[in-house]
Structure 1
Amino acid sequence: MLLELEAIRDLTPETIDWLGDSAARALRSQMLSLPSNAPIPQQFAMRQQLANLELRLGNEGRAIELLQECQEVLDTRRMAIPPQVLSSIEVGLHFQRAVAYMRLGETQNCCQRNNADSCIVPIRGAAIHDHQQGSREALRSLAFVLENGPKNSEVWYRAIWLYNIAKMTVGEFPDGVPEHWRLPEETFQTTESFAEFSNVALDRGIATFSLAGGAIADDLDGDGWLDLMVSTMDTAGQTELYLGGGDGSFRRCTSEAKLVGLFGGLNLLHVDYDNDGFNDVLILRGGWFQGGGRHPNSLLHNNGDGTFTDVTFDAGLATRAPTQTAAWADCDNDGDLDLYIGNETTPQVAMASQLFRNEGDGTFTDVAESAGVLNDRFAKSVVWGDFNHDRWPDLFVSNLGQNNRLYQNGADGTFVDVASELNVNNPQRSFPAWFWDVNNDGHLDIFVSSYADDVAWLAAEHLGVLHDAERPKLYLGTGRDGFVEASERYGLSSPIAPMGCNFGDVDNDGYLDCYLGTGEPEYHNLMPNIMYHNQGGERFVDVTVPSRLGHLQKGHAVAFADFDQDGDLDIFEQLGGAFPGDRFYDALFDNPGFGNNWLKVRVVGTRTNRSGIGVRLHLVLETETGTRSIYRHVNSGGSFGANPFCQTIGIGSAKSVKEMAVYWPATDETQFIRDIPVNQQLDIVEN
């Protein structure tokens, strides 16, 4: 495996447009051989195109030089160009210049002088830029776009958004923004109250500087403390392991764990696939790279001694297909975990998704065709959940640009797609998804987000302008009958562009909240990541601003975990974009606490899979207002980022748990534990 990953790394400059520099090298060569009397439009176009490529590679200075040359070339022909055409060209050029200068400002300040407040909106204090040339020059060009560009156009809305952000970086928002360009106050202010989280990643030594990638938060060395593994889509980027000390501290143990040379991986999952008591790891590779993404995934067996061994080839999982999504479940209820991998089918790469049946001997067999779950579409998220309470896990597949799937498990090794029948096949521009119970009614709900991937939509939304961005969907489960769409009723109907995201109860009130890592590869799409607070299972409220969780950098894998063992969930976020010049530091947001009680529950299967995936928990509480139920379904959370399997369950002000029912799906049996004291961890072994 290591030799193949080295070869992929070495071929990347030529084979992967996202990461490689072959296009830039070719264009540089063409420009050197361009005669001085070449047509002016050709001179302009080549410089403008190369400026974009140089910026993607992180060469901001060279990109800015090329854009200045474009302006000089344009000036030589100014009188010969029709005014309307000239205006359109200059507006586009100034917007490109603004983006280049804003990226320069990010590099000089947020990257080279990174601190805990960097890039968190509203930008304030230590996050205000010391080196302001980038923002000042960007503001100059953005003003040109706003003054000369067509009002209410896509580029105009982009410029409005970036102008307000740039003013924030120099400490001049909101008063320094002309009223007719100023976004409404509520864009970056709120009347909602919420505790402030603080980014402690630098202090804890886990602020890995990389491109987009995955993250796992769980015990990976068997000492009982939560560890952290992170990956990156960079084919030269090392997968890293940080072992936790139980007090919020970490130490890097990549080499000791024998992970050196395991490059690349946009997403990570963990599970105990062989039921030996240790969490194994799956690295997913090739996502978004299309034909250049025929990379093998890696199944890392946990040896139980602090080291891992890549067993991908021996396990039969070495298919080379572009993917970033997979999920584990015991789909045949035989006591071991099976694996579904959602591959990305495009006109260039026809690669159906795969269902690998666990044979119980360390090997897997692809049974997707006979099971009826090939899904030859562009899969971006796959998640398991028993939506109809028949104890057989069903499969939801989010497909970008096509109908989503809900494969109902037939309990006989086959599945039927009931997405259209149950009206859960939207949104069409679909990305992350998960099963959860948002209202504690005992039925699994589905959240599946649209990918409204442009700040133009964000600006239009805040300005109250109608637009056609697709909205996310929240499908409330009704049990055996299906689902009811409730995104607008629950306050989840804003245009958002999440990639990595996850859920957990951050305030320990018993209701699941969610954090969305947003963004899109292009540099102009600087949008804050979003925190939604679940208010009593009836609606979600955006608490991004008061929580200080609105990081502007591209958000990828998210994990909710109590790293410092104080009873509340902290949030780890893997940050960084897709272009070589868009690396960033990961964030760890420390939860300040909300004063509520909690219970941690770790289930250990003996006949059910040892990880407990698919186990259902029903807690009954006695409160001052009467009896209350809380439901949890054991998994690692959302589709991009992995939470611990040990469930941290908030119980509000309750002083004890009257009863907890633990349902084991493989045996169809329920185990009861009664009169449980709060604020402790409970390990429950299957009878």
Structure 2
Amino acid sequence: MKDKTRFLLIVFLVYALPLFSAAAVQFVDVTEAAGIRFRHVNGAEGAFHIPETLGSGGAFFDADNDGYLDIYLVNSGYWNTSPSTKQVPNALYRNNRDGTFTDITATAKVGNRGNYGQGVASADYDNDGNVDLYVTNFGANVLYRNNGDETFTDVTKSAGVGDNGWSSSACFLDYNLDGHLDLFVVNYLVYSVDVPYPPCGENGIHTYCHPSLFEGAPDRLYRNNGDGTFADVSQEAGVGGIGGPFHGKGLGVVSADFNNDGAPDLYVANDDTRNDFFYNNGDGTFREISLLAGCAYSFNGVAQAGMGVATGDYNGDGWFDIFVTNLSYETNALYRNNGDGTFTDVIYEAHLGKESYLFVGFGTGLFDADNDGWLDIFIANGHILDNIEDTHDILTYRQPDQLFRNKGDGTFQEVSERAGAYFQNVAVSRGTLFGDYDNDGDIDMLVTQSNGPATLLRNDTETQNNYVSIKTVGVISNRDGIGTRITLTVDEHTQVREVNPASSYLSSHDPRCYFGLGPNATVDRLEVRWQSGVRQVFENLPANQEHTISEFSDTPEDALFKAVWIGEISTLRDMNINVNLKDAVGRTPLRIAAEKADIHTVMFLIENGADVNIADANGNTPLIFIINKTRNLEITKHFIAKGAAVNTQNRTGETALMYAAWRGYTDIVALLLENRADVNLKNGHGETALTLAESKGHSEIVKMLKASNEILRKQ
């Protein structure tokens, strides 16, 4: 019995060892040594304008393509019109590759002077190999195109993205999978500093008004036209716009493929109202399903003051979860992805509930702080009201930030007290940037303050754990590879990441994907799924280095899809391969050729055996897709002539006729009716082609559909 007890004790210690012997995470404030001299100015002078409470964000991004992350920090400014005081510039710091930075704002021409800055999104929107900047403001936003020589050009007007409202966060994503990064802009309130709003306060103390007193501003989705310009498609895509149904008072946004169907979805953290979850239908439109999905409210059904938002697979089940920071007395929210289209707020089960109850969270991130293979959580805290201590006994304006270590069992443990001197201080923290600025293999952070200095935190965790970082270079997909899903397996533990630099609060991050490997020296398997549908697999990758992966491999399948994407019919003629193969997101070569409106490739593929009725993962056949996306009458005629089924319904019940009627394509409606398209079919919302045409005011099409229906009734 004694020997058995000793054996059980040894077994317990062996299995407990990873938890108790984990390296203590350490972050060191290196702001001064690094040469960062940035200080945020909110312009507060007693007028209590609400924008003064939000602070600002920034971006870790490689401005000069030298392989090291540079830093862009957004400033706000003063409200008076004196040029000597109002001109508070943003700042661009070039990484000197020795742990220090140099301020190059003036020569780079990205100061954003005269604008009350809020946040920034960074990405290569024009696919020229240089990372650009989109700055959100209280007032007109600014798009800076990177010229590739450490200078930028303001192209806002020509690009058509100068939203003049009050924008908070923004993110670049390729929502329609055409290889060009689109832009989603989150807007907050309908508010003006020139309007004399009635004063707000508590117990006779004047303070900032609550956002519930103001109307929410609609978000915007700008589709990239591929020529340096964008089109506002907010309403037609179903995500907002003037007159749209969604006015959510948004502050944070993140894009990810939450249901693993290959198309990026959007999640918006809203203040004092339900959060928005825009599910990508795969046809250029979104559905808002936060209520159905269980991520609109807190675990007890309350709308919270959503500020920051982050996503990642914290429990290792292959599905992206969502973490949202909120106000004191609310707790933050951890929405666990159930893998069936729904989420569950498990903030208390994860041991993150009472720990956040008295704090006001803003910037946040799910990242592997100690390279043990599990995503940890950082929260930047600081109250909204600078006089909160005058009206509440236990709430404070300045608050400590928090760090939680993932225990690998679905729960977290707060390790703030052991994570370095920085966590013993209090501040009014706002935006948080995550990235490996010194390229040493662990994730560093930069935290901004409202009306205070930015702090650069170097990760100095002493650990024997290994890592790999993955940099993606798109060829057919967007050049940054944003939206690319990377799945890594090591020692039977699988981790999933997506390339997506925008999240947290008003901020953007290192676009490279970092994976902690624990003690393992090699990666067993790495799978890369590009938004083009290309899938690549690598085995036995060495640890402790950055691997750059370019889209496409040398397999016949990849060669087929690449030839279709770029329209190389001569290459296709030399292939002896099944032209009905599907890519990683369920598209056939024919569907891709239709998407590109490439009639010559379409005809070649059909002549060589392409099936015109194979549907993608969303149930869209090439016929449905060509009508919804490009309005190409010639290809539509060719599909029908080759046997395309005109009455096929996709996953949401839409038919080719419904799309044509809704979009007002009179010629295509006539063609479909000639080929016996059914006018009485209903989609998932109970709508017919007729009711859709009526809702859009397409009177000529309404007449055509009614006449066709009358003919059918008499037959």
Alignment-derived partner of residue 280 in structure 1:
132
How far did 1:204 drift?
0.8
SS at match of 2:117: coil
Alignment-derived partner of residue 38 in structure 2:
208
How far did 1:680 drift?
0.6
Q: 1:310 to 1:296 in 2, by over 3 A?
A: same
Alignment-derived partner of residue 627 in structure 2:
none
Distance in 1, Cα, partners of 2:214 & 2:341: 39
Question: Contact (CA 8 Å) 2:248, 2:275: kept in 1 or not?
Answer: no
How far did 1:234 drift?
2.1
SS at match of 1:255: helix
How far did 1:503 drift?
3.1
Alignment-derived partner of residue 319 in structure 2:
443
Q: Does 1:619 align with 2:483?
A: no
Alignment-derived partner of residue 537 in structure 2:
672
Q: When the two structures are superposed, what TM-score results if normalisation uses the length of structure 2?
A: 0.63
Alignment of 1:147-546 (within 5 A): 194-211=24-41, 212-234=55-77, 236-260=87-111, 262-263=113-114, 264-286=116-138, 295-346=139-190, 351-374=217-240, 375-427=246-298, 428-429=303-304, 430-452=306-328, 469-494=329-354, 495=357, 496-523=359-386, 524=389, 525-536=397-408, 538-546=410-418
Alignment-derived partner of residue 651 in structure 2:
none
Instruction: Read off the aligned partner of 1:433 and give its amino acid letter.
Output: V
Segment drifting more, 252-261 vs 406-415: 252-261
Q: Which segments of 5 or more consecutive residues in structure 2 lack a partner in the other structure?
A: 1-19, 42-54, 79-86, 191-212, 241-245, 390-396, 553-715
Alignment-derived partner of residue 30 in structure 1:
none
Q: Which segments of 5 or more consecutive residues in structure 1 lack a partner in the other structure?
A: 1-189, 287-294, 453-468
How far did 1:259 drift?
2.4
Q: 1:521 to 1:587 in 2, by over 3 A?
A: farther
Instruction: Read off the aligned partner of 2:38 and give its amino acid letter.
Output: T
How far did 1:313 drift?
0.9
Alignment-derived partner of residue 9 in structure 2:
none
Alignment-derived partner of residue 556 in structure 1:
430
Q: 1:303 to 1:610 in 2, by over 3 A?
A: same
Among 573, 591, 598, which residue is 2:447 paired with?
Answer: 573
| Superposition misfits of 4+ residues, deviation over 6 angstroms | 190-193
Q: 1:403 to 1:656 in 2, by over 3 A?
A: same
Q: When the two structures are superposed, what TM-score results if normalisation uses the length of structure 1?
A: 0.65
How big is each residue's C-alpha offset from its partner over 1:537-589, in whole Å with a ceiling of 9 and x where there is no partner? 521111111102424111122112222222111211112x2xxxx43343434
Distance in 1, Cα, partners of 2:527 & 2:182: 25
Distance in 2, Cα, partners of 1:450 & 1:521: 11
Question: Contact (CA 8 Å) 2:277, 2:289: kept in 1 or not?
Answer: yes
Q: 1:440 to 1:308 in 2, by over 3 A?
A: same
Alignment-derived partner of residue 79 in structure 1:
none
Question: Contact (CA 8 Å) 1:615, 1:664: kept in 2 or not?
Answer: yes
SS at match of 1:475: strand
Q: How many residues matched?
A: 464
How far did 1:321 drift?
0.4
Distance in 2, Cα, partners of 1:260 & 1:409: 35
Which is higher, the Rg of structure 1 or of structure 2?
2
How far did 1:349 drift?
5.8
Distance in 1, Cα, partners of 2:430 & 2:402: 12
Q: 1:672 to 1:592 in 2, by over 3 A?
A: same
Instruction: Read off the aligned partner of 2:149 and give its amino acid letter.
Output: D
Distance in 1, Cα, partners of 2:313 & 2:112: 40
Q: Does 1:631 align with 2:631?
A: no
Distance in 1, Cα, partners of 2:185 & 2:502: 16
Q: Does 1:659 align with 2:503?
A: no
Alignment-derived partner of residue 598 in structure 1:
467
How far did 1:656 drift?
0.2
Segment drifting more, 233-242 vs 309-318: 233-242
How big is each residue's C-alpha offset from its partner over 1:304-348, in whole Å with a ceiling of 9 and x where there is no partner? 111011111111011210011112111101111111111123465
RMSD: 2.0
Alignment of 1:17-36 (within 5 A): none
| Percent identical residues | 30
How big is each residue's C-alpha offset from its partner over 1:333-388, in whole Å with a ceiling of 9 and x where there is no partner? 11111111111234656631111111111111111111111121211112111111
